Amino acid sequence: MLKRNQLILGNKTLADITEDICKPVETLPSKGWVALFLSAKTLLIFYVIILGIIIANGMGLLGVNHPNGWGTMIITFVFWIGIGHAGTLISAILFLFRQKWRTSVARTAEAMTVFAVMTAGLFPLLHTGRPWLDFWLFPYPNQRGPLWVNFRSPLLWDVFAVSTYATVSIVFWYIGLVPDFATIKDRAKNKFRRLAYGALSLGWRGTARNWSHYEMLYLILAGLSTPLVLSVHTIVSFDFAVASLPGWHTTIFPPYFVAGAIFSGFAMVVTLMTLVRIGIPQFKDYITIDHMEVMNKIIMATGLMVGYAYASEFFIAWYSGNQYERFVFINRAFGPYGWSYWIMVTCNVIIPQLFWFKALRRSIPVMFVVSIFVNIGMWFERYVITITSLHRDFLPSNWGQYAWSFFDSAVLLGSFGMFLTLFLLYLRLFPAVSIAEVKPVLHVGRKDLEPSSGGHH
């Protein structure tokens, strides 16, 4: 059996861990954080204004048109939903598989999931023509007959999938936070902190009984979340796959979307973790190069899966003998939007191949750049799927280009403002590494796990 390197570096004691992790929550923010937060918040305010203008005037402000009924909002929705997948995968699936390395990154990855789902969730609500009537998308008792929703529509499935996912991941994340909130409450030096974190910790006292219930609940929630990792993006892919449009109507979409989601999610985790390591230096001991390397391996593996999906789509288009299907794929790669296809292939398939080299997948600057490229590539993947399929379909007289406008750029950029604001607040207010989960994976008192060359004194 392969022996792992130490999961936590720096020969920490239990007290060190508590101290390290609570420090960002208990000290004044650094100048770097303030600068980042102010920028992110400005972007968020800009985003709110832009969304307000769009709601006031209509979807016509964006580039959506005939034949491109969906555009930036749906593309960016799928992008953010995909990002969310890594968190649940790390926290739930890896938990069930007893992958101990997950403990250091799980909390932040889950936070990312929650924020990404929140960011994503706004889009399908706002991209409708009359967003003030979005509640019609939910089945609720009403006096119109009652008029029910259309259970055959993938968009409705989407409503359920995304709302379930959001609920379960928030609960799962929160439950994991409870013991740590109690720790912060106990360390609190003023009444307000004690009160706030006391309330958040739901009366956690750390008794054996508490722990026993907690472990059981955590396991159940992990079990509940696990199928969601697969189902959410499967259902999101149904939005496309169940439609009859060539380029959308394909059976490969569910696994392809899930692989892509994990791919993009891990890339985003890597992006954020490299930044967290810079911003909070003591976390370098918890989120080690080893952690990053594991995630990079997953990026490479899922990148290959995505690449395989791209290739197999082309093969099936050719093999089907369907002229519309064939045309869409040829047009996708060589039509007016060919550039976006090649950006996607470059970023998602070619660039992650760098991780074949150990030195590169352990290099922070390299992985940061690669993860950014993967993020870009995965946004373009959704762009390619949505736009290149819609813009040239059956009747050539309908063909047209997407009318990209200022508002498309603003919405895309603004969504990062929302995500980053939430994420930065999280780093300051919540313990970004799970104190309760990290402690058990320490080497303290476990000679069998100590590496021979460990600097243990």
Partner 1 sequence: MQNNHHDHDHEESEEILAQKKAARPDIQRDNKYWANLEQYNNDPEFWKAAEAEFQSSPLRGEKEEGWARREFLKLMGASVAMASAGCIRRPVQKIVPYNKQPEEVVLGVANYYTSAFYDGLEPLSVLVKTKEGRPLKVEGHHEFPLSEGGTSARSQAALLSLYDPERIKGPRKNIFNEKRSNKDTIQIKWDDLDDQIVEQLKKGQVAVLTGSLPSPSTRSIIKEFCQAFGGQHYSWEPLNLSDVSVGQKLSYGEAAIPYYHFDEAKTIVSIDADFLGAWHTPVTNSRQFSKGRKNVDKMSRLITFDSNYSLTGANSDIRFKIKPSQQITVAMGLAYELIVKQGKSSYASNSLVKSTLENFSTAAADLGIDPAVFAEVANNLWDSRGESVVVAGGLPTMNGQQSSLQIAVNFLNAVLGNDGKTIDYKFDWSNSLSASWDGLLALIEKMQAGQVKTLVIHRTNPVYALPDSLGFQEALKKVDVIITTSDRMDEVAQHSHYVAPDNHIMENWGDIESTTGLLSIHQPTLRPLWDTRSFQLSLMTWAYLADRGPKRLLAYESYFDYLKNYWKEEIYPQAGKGKNFETFWQELLQNGYVGSAPQGAGSRSFKTEALNQVKKVAATDGYELVLYPTVQLADGSQSNIAILQELPDPVTKIVWDNYVSCSMATAEKLKCKEGDLVKITVGTRDMTLPLHIQPGLHDSVLAVAVGYGRTHAGSIANGVGQNAYQFANISKDSIQFSGQNVGITKLGKRVQLATTAGHHTMEGRQIVAEATIKDFKKDQAAGLHKHHIWSMWSGHQYNGNKWGLAVDLNSCTGCSACVIACQTENNVPAVGKAYVLQGREMHWIRIDRYYKGDMANAEAVFQPVMCQHCDNAPCETVCPVLATVHSDEGTNDMAYNRCVGTRYCSNNCPYKVRRFNWFNYRKEIPNPVHMSFNPDVTVRIRGVMEKCTFCIQRIRAARNTSKLEGRPLKDGDVKTACQTSCPTDALIFGDMNDPNSRVSKAFAEPRSYGLLEEWGAKPSVRYMTKIRNNDQESASKDGGAHAEA
Give the per-residue contact string, 157-186, with partner 1 (x = CB under 8 A; - = no): --x---------------------------
Q: Candidates 18-26, 189-197, 217-225, 239-247 — which segment interacts with partner 1 by CB under 8 A?
A: 239-247
Sequence-distant (≥ 6) Cβ neighbours of residue 264 within 8 angstroms: 79, 82, 83, 85, 86, 374, 375, 378
The only residue of 4, 23, 130, 297 in contact with partner 1, by rule CB under 8 A: 130
The only residue of 13, 32, 148, 456 in contact with partner 1, by rule CB under 8 A: 148
81 touches 261 (CB < 8 A)? yes
Please report whether residue 141 would count as binding partner 1 according to CB under 8 A.
Answer: no
177 touches 200 (CB < 8 A)? yes
**Tokens, residue 145:** 């007959």
CA distance 150 to 61: 28
87 touches 169 (CB < 8 A)? yes
**Tokens, residue 237:** 């892919």
- Report the nearest approach of partner 1 to the CB of residue 299 (Å): 31
CB nearer to partner 1: give 58 or 223: 58
Task: Map the footprint of partner 1 across residues 243-282, applying CB under 8 A.
Answer: 243-245
List the one residue out of 270, 286, 224 whose CA is nearest residue 364. 270
**Tokens, residue 141:** 């008792």
- Report the nearest approach of partner 1 to the CB of residue 329 (Å): 14
- Report the nearest approach of partner 1 to the CB of residue 342 (Å): 22
- Report the nearest approach of partner 1 to the CB of residue 235 (Å): 13
DSSP 72-124: HHHHHHHHHHHHHHHHHIIIIIHHHTT-TTHHHHHHHHHHHHHHHHHHHHHHH
DSSP annotation of 148 reads P
- Report the nearest approach of partner 1 to the CB of residue 315 (Å): 20
- Report the nearest approach of partner 1 to the CB of residue 72 (Å): 13
Task: Map the footprint of partner 1 across residues 66-95, applying CB under 8 A.
Answer: 66-70
The site for partner 1 (CB under 8 A) is made up of 57-60, 63-70, 124, 127-130, 133-134, 136-137, 147-150, 152-156, 159, 239, 242-245, 323-324, 327, 390, 392-401, 403
